């Protein structure tokens, strides 16, 4: 049996909330959904394709856990948290950026790296960012453990995760992308 993974991008995150708290780098994992983000996931939960699923896998980030919780409640499915479904790391050592004198790191720096990353420009040197290939390896290894165990599985995850394994150039908030593992 081949498993269809329904990759569901989380709803709109509340970046203003994070900016107010100066949650940058590794702390950005705590960003919750906005009210609009909640509505986006509520709407996604009504997609009839998702009724085929028997399990939800979720990235450990707050915005994906919140998205998975909404899907779980609406579809009556259990949730399993999988670390390797996390978003792209713009700081591989997970220490967060330490600003040089006169520099302001945070949203601006992360946004700069993210734009370059999303344009498929691999970052090197001081940026210390995760590559598309590294994301694809960790995500595909995670999904392989579940392939063939269920007819369909929902995966509450991130745009970088979806783009890295599908080749899509853009993934909207709460977009659902059907995916089967290569070679299955």
Instruction: Please give the helix or strand (H or E) that residue 158 lies within, else none.
Output: none
pLDDT of amino acid 125: 43
pTM of the model: 0.85
Helix (H, G, I), strand (E, B) or coil at 172: coil
Distance, in Å, from the CA atom of 79 to the CA atom of 56, rounded to the nearest integer, reads: 5
Starting at the edge strand found earlier in the chain, the sheet holding 152-157 runs 79-81, 56-58, 152-157, 4-9, 176-179
Tens of pLDDT, residues 147-162: 999 999 999 999 989 9
| pLDDT single digits (tens) 119-148 | 665 555 445 667 788 889 999 999 999 999
Reported as a single tens digit per residue, the pLDDT across 34-47 is 999 999 999 999 99
pLDDT at position 104: 46
Residues 6 or more apart from 180 whose CB is under 8 A from it?
2, 3, 4, 5
Residue corresponding to tokens 């579940």: 146
**104, HSE (Cβ side, Cα atoms, 13 Å):** 5
How many contiguous H segments (helices) and E segments (strands) does the chain have? 6, 5
């Amino acid at each position: 049996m081949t498993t269809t993974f329904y990759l569901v991008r989380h709803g709109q995150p509340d970046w203003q909330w994070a900016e107010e708290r100066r949650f940058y780098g590794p702390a950005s994992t705590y960003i919750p959904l906005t009210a609009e983000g909640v509505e986006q996931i509520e709407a996604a939960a009504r997609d009839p394709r998702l009724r085929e699923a028997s399990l939800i896998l979720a990235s450990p980030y707050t915005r994906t856990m919140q998205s998975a919780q909404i899907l779980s409640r609406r579809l009556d499915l259990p949730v399993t948290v999988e670390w390797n479904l996390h978003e792209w790391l713009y700081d591989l050592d997970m220490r967060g950026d330490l600003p040089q004198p006169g520099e302001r790191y945070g949203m601006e720096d992360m946004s700069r790296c993210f734009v370059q990353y999303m344009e498929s420009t691999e970052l090197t040197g001081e940026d210390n960012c995760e590559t598309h290939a590294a994301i694809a390896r960790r995500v595909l290894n995670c999904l392989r453990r579940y392939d063939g165990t269920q007819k369909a599985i929902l995966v509450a995850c991130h745009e970088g995760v979806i783009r890295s394994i599908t080749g899509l150039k853009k993934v909207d908030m709460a977009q659902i992308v059907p995916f089967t593992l290569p070679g299955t």
